[in-house]
């Protein structure tokens, strides 16, 4: 095999062993087993964006699964008062890939997250809501699955079982990459949604924040440039931050109270489930051992925790005379 041919194959990200086998003239099935992906960095190439993001989000070797973690703080936001720390969140996801005939990647993922007490750090089954002065049952994040396709075109927003009907025009998959210091590359992504709620107020008076959900998520990834360029790396590890602005969590039983929830978390990758906090793994296993592995097949629908709540929970009783909590009255400056 000539030098240029070997370089081309390496730029497609064929695993090192497969490339070497090809150079020695071995049988083609060894090469066919290796996933193909672009590694020559080109921020303006939709196919490079497709492959680079797939390698961040999962391991493009379908025989492997990637374990990701996230943890951080959850805040309550209301008018006329300081933002309030409520609890922390700690969770993980397990994802597997499948390359489609057109070169796109199908991402198949389960994710689960639990909430911790701010003072003790213990995983919570109940929580005292300071806004309503009552103890409520905590419902974890438990999304199985959350799948989508990563192609050379921007993915459509999640439909959440048909609730979100937004269909933006088809555009090339070009993401917000920048060069960082010390040989790093940075990626920022965001999504902003406004769609009908699965928790309508007439059926879910205590859980529903209104007829529509307004949700935003922002991510920032930091990766090593040399990892993106390495054809032997079917997964590119990243560290970063995740922020989510979302309605009051339904299990908080806030009704249509003014305000919202804000998550601010870190995320990254670990080599396996055994690298996660032991109490987190035990809690997930007790719910169902399936949470410790990625899906082996593609199925749906893909729903967020809000839609899953509507499918899996029942409306809370409404006490006589109950009303959603109100924020404090506006303050005035002295002498005004």
Q: State pLDDT tens for residues 159-171.
A: 888 888 888 889 9
Is 50 exceeded by the pLDDT of residue 7?
A: no
Percent of the chain residues topping a pLDDT of 70:
90
**Residue 329 to residue 336: CA distance in whole angstroms:** 16
In this prediction, residue 17 carries a pLDDT of 35
Backbone angles phi, psi at 227, to 5 degrees: -70, -40
Q: Closest Cα partner for 213 from 225, 222, 200? A: 200
Instruction: List pLDDT tens digits, range 267-315.
Output: 999 999 999 999 999 999 999 999 999 999 999 999 999 999 999 999 9
Q: Are 91 and 111 in contact (CB under 8 A)?
A: yes
Q: Please report the pLDDT score of residue 34 as a whole number.
A: 64
pTM across the whole model: 0.88
Q: Distance of alpha carbon 178 from its chain centroid, rounded?
A: 21
- Predicted pLDDT of residue 165: 82
Please list, in sequence order, all residues whose beta carbon lies within 8 angstroms of the beta carbon of residue 332, skipping any fewer than 6 positions away. none
Residue whose C-alpha is closest to residue 163's, from 259, 313, 304: 304
Nearest CA-CA partner of 186 in 41, 312, 67: 41
Count of alpha carbons within 13 Å of 205, Cβ hemisphere only? 10
Residue with tokens 């360029």: 229
Residue pair 114/301 in contact (Cβ under 8 Å)? The answer is no
Are the beta carbons of 190 and 151 closer than 8 angstroms? no
Using one digit for the tens of pLDDT, what is the confidence trace for 89-133? 999 999 999 999 999 999 999 999 999 999 999 999 999 999 999
First to last CA, the chain: 82
Exposed e or buried b for every residue in 256-271, given b needs 16+ CB within 10 A? ebebbbbbebebebee
Helix 16-23, helix 3-11: angle, nearest 10: 160
Q: For the residues 196-200, what does the mean pLDDT come to?
A: 96
């Amino acid at each position: 095999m000539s030098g240029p041919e070997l370089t081309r194959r390496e730029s497609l990200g064929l695993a090192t062993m497969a490339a070497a086998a090809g150079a020695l003239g071995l049988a083609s099935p060894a090469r066919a087993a290796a996933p193909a992906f672009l590694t020559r960095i080109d921020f303006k190439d939709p196919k490079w964006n497709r492959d680079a993001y797939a390698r961040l989000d999962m391991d493009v070797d379908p025989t492997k699964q990637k374990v990701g973690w996230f943890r951080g703080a959850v805040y309550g936001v209301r008018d006329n008062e300081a933002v309030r720390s409520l609890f922390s969140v700690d969770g993980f996801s397990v994802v597997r890939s499948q390359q489609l005939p057109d070169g796109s990647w199908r991402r198949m993922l389960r994710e689960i997250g639990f909430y911790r007490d701010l003072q003790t750090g213990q995983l919570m089954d109940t929580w005292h809501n300071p806004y309503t002065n009552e103890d409520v049952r905590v419902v974890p994040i438990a999304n199985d699955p959350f799948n989508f396709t990563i192609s050379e075109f921007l993915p459509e927003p999640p439909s959440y079982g048909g609730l979100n009907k937004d269909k933006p025009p088809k555009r090339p998959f070009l993401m917000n990459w920048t060069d960082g210091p010390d040989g790093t590359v940075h990626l920022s992504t965001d999504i902003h949604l406004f769609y009908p709620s699965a928790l309508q107020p007439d059926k879910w008076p205590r859980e529903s924040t209104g007829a529509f959900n307004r949700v935003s998520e922002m991510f920032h990834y930091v990766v090593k440039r040399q990892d993106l360029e390495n054809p032997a790396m079917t997964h590119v590890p990243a560290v970063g931050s995740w922020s989510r602005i979302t309605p009051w969590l339904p299990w908080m039983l806030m009704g249509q109270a003014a305000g919202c929830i804000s998550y601010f978390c870190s995320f990254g990758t670990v080599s396996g489930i055994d690298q996660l906090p032991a109490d987190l793994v035990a809690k997930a296993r007790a719910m169902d051992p399936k949470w410790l592995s990625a899906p082996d097949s593609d199925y749906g629908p893909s729903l967020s925790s809000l839609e899953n709540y509507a499918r899996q929970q029942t409306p809370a009783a409404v006490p006589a005379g109950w009303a959603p909590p109100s924020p404090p009255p506006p303050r005035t400056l002295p002498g005004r």
